[in-house]
Amino acid sequence: MKQQIVICLTALAILAAVVLTGHAQQNTTFRLVQKIPLPTGFNHFDHFGVDAKGGRLFATFEDHNTVEVFDLNTGKILHSIPGFTVPHNVLYLPDLNEVVITDGAGTVNFLRGDSLEKIATVKLTINADFVVYDPRTQLFYVTNGGHAGKMTYAQVSIIDKNAKHVDDIRIEASHIEFLSAERSGPRIFLSLTDKNAIGVIDRDKRKMVTMWPLPGDSEYNIPNALDQDHARLFTVSRKPTPKLIVFDTASGKSVAVLPAVGESDDIAYDAKRKRVYVSGAEGFVSVFQQDDPDHYTPLAKIPTGKGAATSTFVPELDRLYVGVKQGEKSAELHVYEVVP
C-alpha cells in the first residue's frame, strides 16, 4: 500500500511539473494584454491589413460587408468602410498613400490612405482575394476566379499603379490562396489548395513556372509566409492532420514538417526572434522557434478560442492581433504582446 501511495504521489508530482512547465513555456512567448469586444453582427473575420506608422488595423468582415479600422494602441474602432459584398483582404501602401481592398464580388478597390475616400475600382472575375504589390515595377497582383466562380482554373491578375488591369496569369488550379512575393527576386509563391502544392510565379515572365508538392500525405494548404533572409517558405496543411511545412525556395524541397494548429488561416514569420506564428480555428496559436533554416522546435501553444483562425503580427509593435469568434453572432479582437 505504501509503495502504491509513493508511486501515486510521484506521478502527481511529475504531472504538476509538466503542467507548470507548459504554462511557463506559454508565458515566455506571448501574453494577452487586451480583449476588444465587437458589436453584434461582427463575427466573421477574414483578414487584416496594417498601417503601423499611422497606428491603424484594418479588419475585413464578410458577415457585415464592411472593413473596420481599429486604433492599434487603444483597440477602438476609428472608422467603418461600407459598400462591399464580401471584403477579403486589405493592403496599406504608405509610399502611395493608398489602401487597396479586395472584394469577393470581383473588384479591387483603391482608397486614399488618409481620408479613406474611394478613388478607383477595378473589375475582375469573382472571388478577388489576395493582393501583393511589387514596388520595383509598381504593379499589383490579385488572385481571382476559381472554385468560387465554378471555374476550373484561377487567375492572378496584374493591375498597374493607375488602377488599370494590364494582364492575367492563368493558374491551372481551381482553389488558390495567399501570395508571398520575394524582395530580391521575381518570384511570387501561392498556395494551390486543391493541388496540395505551392505554385511559383515568375513576375518577369508573367506565368507560373513550377509547382512544389506538399510532402507525404499532407493536403489542403491555405496560408503561406516568407523568411526572406534565409530563403524559406512556410505553409500549413489542414488534412489529414495539420502540419507546418517549410520549403527551401532555392531547391523547392521541403526541409521540415511539424504538427501545428488545425484550420489555420494565417501565418507570420518574426524575423527578429526567428519564430513562426500560426493561428487556427482549433483554438490556439502554434509558436515555433527557428533553430536554423532547416530545423524548428515547437515552442508554445497559446490558447485563443474556437474560430480564431485570423491573425496578423505587427513587428513594429511586437504584437499579435487575433480575431476570436464568440458564439454565432459576436466576436472579440485579442491583442497579444511578445514577452521579451
DSSP state of 263: S
Residue 329: per-residue pLDDT: 76
Q: Which fold has domain 84-213?
A: Methylamine Dehydrogenase; Chain H (2.130.10)
Boundaries of CATH 2.130.10.10 in the chain? 84-213
Residue 326: per-residue pLDDT: 81
Residue 41: per-residue pLDDT: 82
Return d(Cα 304, Cα 316) in angstroms, integer: 22
Confidence (pTM) = 0.91
Return d(Cα 57, Cα 326) in angstroms, integer: 20
Q: Which CATH superfamily is domain 215-340 in?
A: TolB, C-terminal domain (2.120.10.30)
Residue 27: per-residue pLDDT: 52
Residue pair 244/286 in contact by the 8 Å Cβ criterion: yes
Count other C-beta atoms under 10 Å from residue 32's C-beta: 14
Residue 13: per-residue pLDDT: 39
The DSSP code sequence of 246-257 is EEETTT--EEEE
Residue partners of 95: CB distance under 8 A and separation at least 6: 135
**Per-residue pLDDT for the chain (340 aa), expressed as one digit of tens each?**
444 443 343 343 333 333 333 443 445 799 999 999 998 888 889 999 999 999 999 999 998 999 999 999 888 999 999 999 999 999 999 999 999 999 999 999 999 999 999 999 999 999 999 999 999 999 999 999 999 989 999 999 999 999 999 999 999 999 999 999 999 999 999 999 999 999 999 999 999 999 999 999 999 999 999 999 999 999 999 999 999 999 999 999 999 999 999 999 999 999 999 999 999 999 999 999 999 999 999 999 999 998 999 999 999 999 999 999 887 778 999 999 999 7
Q: Apex CA 196: angle with CA 91 and CA 143, to 5°?
A: 25
Residue pair 178/130 in contact by the 8 Å Cβ criterion: yes
- The dihedral through the CA atoms of 249, 253, 259, 264 has a sign that is positive
Boundaries of CATH 2.120.10.30 in the chain? 215-340
Return d(Cα 138, Cα 129) in angstroms, integer: 19
